[in-house]
Structure 1
Amino acid sequence: MLLKSLQAGDVVFGKVSRAVYFAFRGVVLGGGANGKKLAEAPLRRLGAAKLADRVVKAGEMLINMAVISEKRRKRVCLRAREIRRHHRRLVDRRAREGEMAVAAMELPAVRAYDALGINETSVKSMPFENLATLMQSPATLQATKAVLDRFEKLLPLLSSPVINIDHLLKHLGSPKKKKTPPPAAAASASRYSLRVVLCSYMILAHPGAVLSGQGEKEKLLMDSAGSFVKEFELLVKTVLEKQSTDAAAGQKMFSAQLADFDRAWCAYLYCFVKLLQEKVHQLSGDAGIERMNSALSDTRSKFFEAKENGNPLAASVANVSTPLSIGSSGSSFTAQSLPGAASSSSSSSLMKQPTDNEQMLNEMLHEDDVSFGGNSDNVSSAEKEFQAKVKSTMEKAFWDLVTDSMKGDKPDYTQLINLVKEVRDSLHELASKELKEEILENIDLEILSQVLESGSQDTRYLGQIMHYSLDMIRKLSAPAKEDDMKRSHEKLLNELAASSEVNDNGISSFVIAVIKGLRFTLEEIKQLQSEVSKARIQLMQPIIKGSAGVEYLQKAFADRYGPPANASASLPITKQWVSATKSIVEQEWSSHLESLQALPADHAQRVVVPVLRAGHGAPMAQASSSAASGSGLPECKGEKIDKLTRVGLLQLISNVEGLNMQSTPETFQINLPRLRAVQDQFQKVIVIATSILVLHQVLVSKVAAPELQNAISELYDALVKLLDSNPDASTEEIVEAMASSLATVGSLSLPEKQAQATAELATKMLLKSLQAGDVVFGKVSRAVYCAFRGVVLGGGGVKGKKLAEAPLRRLAAAKLADRVVKAGEVLVKMAAISEKVHGQWYKALAFYQGPKTNRYKGSKGRE
């Protein structure tokens, strides 16, 4: 049995071997006392428990061998890694020092720049004209560009990484005049912009001539420009003096100075771009910044190309860049065109701007008054045409640029891939979580790049992307629009499929199909984004219009201007406005109460009322249904802050000078476009009422009442159409409108000579009455002011309408009551919202005892 059991294939041998294996495993994995117990268990089943000690001793030897082997392995690996790391450091340091030494010793570019003699001392002693001429000379531009390029090439050799400033460089928008730039030039923009570097010397030497103000950002830019010039000159000096110093010390000095120079450049560029954006924002708002960032470089490049090639597009772009001249003569009676607004805004210090979220919430709270928000409804037709022309020119230049990039023997598909990426990213942003991964899989930019780089110009894959994108747009859009969108999408795809092989200009069908399809898809996505934004806003409105919106605006205002306790110091314009309003608010309130008492109980019984300057009567105009319905805006009950806010707003819009950021209280600067629109309506009403009054006085004794009313209605319609379409209409155009109304009446009721004399008299009276110092102009302005006051203090209901009609009827201009009510309601809502948001600041300022000023006192006399 023993001999049989010791054979390898025997069952007993297998069981014993297995038990011994378990015993050894228990010791090796269990260790210590636990290992011995684990070893005894299988041995006990063999009746050999005494062998446990031998098994434990042998297992411990295995454990020690494993531990020693692992430690040795780790030690060897660690030493190998250290050797490799030290070797790499040694190689990199030697290579870097060698390259830096060779690069720094190549001095021709630096010497050529130093020979120009441009330094801090010399530029400060130069007159501005001489310095500007020097900065524009070809020698200066060439030498400076060479030395800047040389320094930029040395940056990768620094031991520390440089700061990424691509987000700042893209705002500079330097034009590229070459039609197809070489790959090396197109790879990236220069880190050191030549014109911005030279501009630092201009800022340092003549800050008053270069900068338009002395605000905080201007001061930061001046300081950063001075630091940059200092580091730049030290770097040039270090390179020139390196030969006379020890190699190692000189190398270390040069590396440190190059790093300091680059850090100073980053700080200066940041201040430069921030001030540039601030100026663009002041001139054209967020839309201007967006247009500058997205289209400036491409459009200017296209302009230079067209100019060099003699293309008419250059003239088109040049004309667009010049504002249209509207009204060649005569003065304007609208707030937008008054010179005070434009001149003061350009020289103002930088203001604290509300955030996008604040502006959005503010628009939601005022959404019933969007027509007075300074948007497209309040823009003249000439301005709309100008804006449309600018947009059309920019779009044409952009798509022409994309088309040109894909033409020729070596097409550049970079723009095309970027546009497809924009389509993919836009759909990805709009889609739900379930669809995001699907979009990324179906619009694969890597595959697209490979297809395009193959040079086959195969439209199949691009067609798949286009088809999928349009399907996804339909899926994300409202179900009600799906059928119409499907028809338009199918029509587009059929047109692209039927494109001819080559058009008249030699542009392949591939390029035509790609441009047309991408342009259509991007427009569809833009509309979808607008719809989604509107839907999200509608969902938010119930919350925003509650207390949450007011609380958010309160917190945002406090973050920008501090708590109400600091209002006297942080809100200087609001403080002056409150102080000036306090001095006249009680007088205005008393006049309003007198107007209420004078209002007849049965307003409809008054059929004829006296008209200014003459005792003749004017029949009462029929109240319109729109105003009769009322808006439900509450009247003022005499509460101190409510009364002060309403009267203060009335003083602002009744001012002769156009409102701007420097004359508007900080609490209403977010509503400046809305205030300007109401001020515009105020001045339009004065012009129309004055014209109607003059016409009434001239014709009242010469024609019958029905003909007089017809002439007044015709003049009213003509002036409304003229002033609404062209806010900058001149006095000549207004006189022409009156002459047209007089000609209609004269041809029917007056002899030719009398009609001519009447027209001449009316023209003289109108020109005289439209002058600010004229008695008639003053009385009309006062009557219009009282009409606005009736709505602002009396509310937007029937009572406010009656209070507005009473003074206007004395001008025979009761038809203007609806316009007054509509504009006055904007002020009522603005005052109510501002009281909720800024009430604590108003209370702090209302009880502040300080010097009073009448800066905001309007041009109208007070009763």
Structure 2
Amino acid sequence: MMMESSEGVRPAAGVAMEFSVSDEKAAETTSFSSATATRVPRRLRKRLLAECSRSPCTVEEIEAKLRHADLRRQQFYEKLSSKARPKPRSPPRSSSNEEDLGQRLEAKLQAAQQKRLSILAKAQKRLARLDELRQAAKTGVEMRFEKEREMLGSKVESRVQKAEANRMLILKAYSQRRDKLKERSSQSLLRRMTRESKYKERVRAAIHQKRLAAEKKRLGLLEAEKKKARARMLQVRRVAKFVSHQREVERRKMREQLEDRLQRAKRQRAEYLRQRARLHTVRINWNRMDKQADVLSRKLARCWRQFLKHRRSTLELARSYDALKINEMSVKSLPFEQLALLIESTATLQTVKTLLERLESRFKIFRAVDAASNHSSCLDSIDHLLKRVASPKKRPTPRTPLRSREAKKVNSSREAGRTPAKLSRYPVRVVLCAYMILGHPDAVFSGQGEREIALAKSAEEFIGQFELLIKVILEGPIQSSDEESDSLPKRWTIRSQLAAFDKAWCSYLNCFVMWKVKDAKSLEDDLVRAACQLELSMIHKCKMTAEGDNGALTHDLKAIQKQVTEDQKLLREKVQHLSGDAGIERMECALSETRSKYFEAKENGSPIGSPITNFLSTSPPSSSAASASVTSLDHKSNQTKGAERPKHVVRSLFREENPSVTKRIDSSASGTSSVSGQLASSVERRSVKENEVIINEYVHNQHYAAFDIFTVNNEKPNIIKAKIRETMEKAFWDGIAESVKQGEHNYDRIIQLVREVRDEICGMAPQSWKEEITEAIDPEILSQVLSSGSLDIDYLGRILEFALTTLQKLSAPANDDDMKANHQRLLKELAEICQIRDESNYSHVNAMIKGLRFVLEQIRALQQEIIRARMRMMEPFLKGPAGLEYLRKGFADRYGPPSDAHTSLPVTLQWLSSILTCKDYEWEEHKSSLSALVSQETSSGLPLPSTTLRTGGSFRVKTSGNQITSSHTSDVSNITVNQQPECKGERLDLMVRLGLLKLVSAITGITEEALPETLMLNLPRLRAVQAQIQKMIVISNRISIPAFLYVDKPS
């Protein structure tokens, strides 16, 4: 019974342990477990709850847990059955009781058996349900695993596709980057070549400038040495004169002292005698002297109090100056503009001027006292230096209202009675300039020469002495603190420091004047040049003659003449202030020379200057400025006459080959707009074709032939075409000369040619040069000059010289010597032409036209040189894929897309069709001949011929190791370096080779009509090959005929 009851308990425990396994039917297990929860132990309940809180388990884990639970249940039942105790036996009963007990026991056993069966049935149902749940979980896990595997597969496949796409993008980016790097390297190479050429040009210009600067410096040093020698000689003479004067003064002083002593002795003797006679009057005179001394002392005290009240003492003036904060430390820290404003202020100038005047008066008093005390001191004379730095007096403007005669007389008498003002020893502006030199030498000086260095050093010393003097005035005498002077201590007082200050001032003033001499000379030259320009302008406007003024002058011309006279008067005053009478004399000489040159040039037929001298050398500044002013005054209102010509006249003249084009240029306006449009389109097509020919030559590795494209024709020069071209050019220039030599003097074509020269030079020159070129070559000014009626050959000569110089700078350095020689030769020829004098100035016209023609030829040569240089730089690109792409694109533009080849390429179609029928026969013949040659080589051991047969194929030669074969192989390799690869029998390759062979082996010459469209660019090359083949045929025939004759001749 105990065992049965134990077996009946086992399913319930199994149900409780399998509670947490279900995933899909948690509700059933929850209801079932709630019914049996009272019978589950607490330990198992906690364990089940802990397992329920975990994540779902797999099928294998569930099966393992079930087996483990079953094993533990069996162990528990075995342990429980072993602990069961037998019941004590009851006392024997009767048989009826035993039967009742047997029946009850049997009923209990049946009930237990039923209960056990029901429990087993429930357990089986539960196990079946669990098995269904396990199968469902297993199926779900498998389905989820399959779904995850499919998702992972799709993800992997998408990632593979993305990786492939990224790899293609990376490869594309890498190829683009490589192309960009190639393009960038080529561009950097171009920039480097341009930069190197510019650098060489700059270095050459810098060397030339340095040479000129060195030569100028050498001449300046020589001139400075001469000036120094003259200054030393003058100084020696002045010192000798001063020494002799000092000795004479000393002798005079000694004589005067002796005379003073004698006179004093006489006066003392007479006074003594009078005192003895008038002893009684002494007391009266003493009382009178006391009263006078008392009055004088009171007056002196009153004046001193007033002096202090107005702050006119030296100490107050020094304090006022110190309040300005102008010292050595402050000027170095202040900016230049702020320092200039501080120095130029009225308060500063007035304060410094008052202080300097007081110092000057004190210095003169000290010197006078020293002279009276018989000290050897004399005031240094620096008036000649002060005159150099003194400012001119401001005079009223001449345009003042008229005054009365009496007022004029009074003013004239006052001016006559005036004496020249005394110069201040310390000019305030020169003193303040020392602070500017000390604080900002770079802003004051334009260079660093000997004069500038000496001036800076003397200014620093002067400022030091000046500030020390101010310190002595403010603080009193200063004792020296130098260690070296302990034995003899030095004490600076106002008197000693004022003497040191004056000495430093004299040195600084001398250096300052020497520095200003150079500026004064340049300013004097500018003033004289301005006066000459005014004189020339007045002569030209007033139409004055060499004898004097022209009588018929209008009111405006008289006003101009009066204004010029007043301006020249002001210029004379400034020149006199700068250089004195010598400067006035130089100015008068320059004015008279300008007048004489002007009238001389006017008599010779040219307004200004001589044509030959100005043609070969640059004119002086005065004449050039005068010519510019005269031109601007005379022809300001004139405008350019005539209609505008085509802009590229000379360019088309030198580049076009068609005679009709040159005829259109000569007539210049006869053609209609439709004709010009057709001509432009034909020129454009021709330029495109020339470009394709050039690139085709580069693709075939024959770039040397491409430079022949820039000549008149790609073929050899034709004598007839050259003569026609020469005649057309001569007719063009003769037409220009005739238009100028006619009575009305039409200079429109000359102006157009000059404009063409300017445009061409601007097109080739850098951007920074264009402004200078436009200013130097101005067709508007030239038209005004030429329309005035006088052919100004000087202005044309300057234009020609500037154009030639600019072209020489733009050309290659290797051509400098040739261009210079050509330029000198041209200038000599033009000078010889200009020397031929005639009334109509035809010689000047011929010289002008010849110069323009030479300049245009030089421009054309330089353009060709530039094009060649650009082609050399573009050679690597033209030989690459870019050249082939350009040829392919040009061919497609001319003949259409490849789909229209049957209709657009009829000659090519006919050419290939003629080869199509015989190509197989020719190829079989070639192979049979090749096999025959190979069999002959193997049988006889002789090497194969070094060239191929008919189709241009190449053969591999098997050498046997002897000396003859090896040498022949080297010959074959040298000959077949540039040959095409061997023909393998492909259809297209075979047809092209046979077609080319048929073209070049024809007896008649190849023409453009019979040439296929695809070979049109290679016409010269095919003609050259045909000529070589025909030459070979002729040579072989000439060799074979004597051989046959020799064989047929009997022995």
Q: Do the two structures share a fold, i.e. TM-score over 0.5?
A: no
Q: Which has the larger radius of gyration?
A: 2
- Which one has more relative contact order, counting CA pairs under 8 Å at least 6 apart? 1
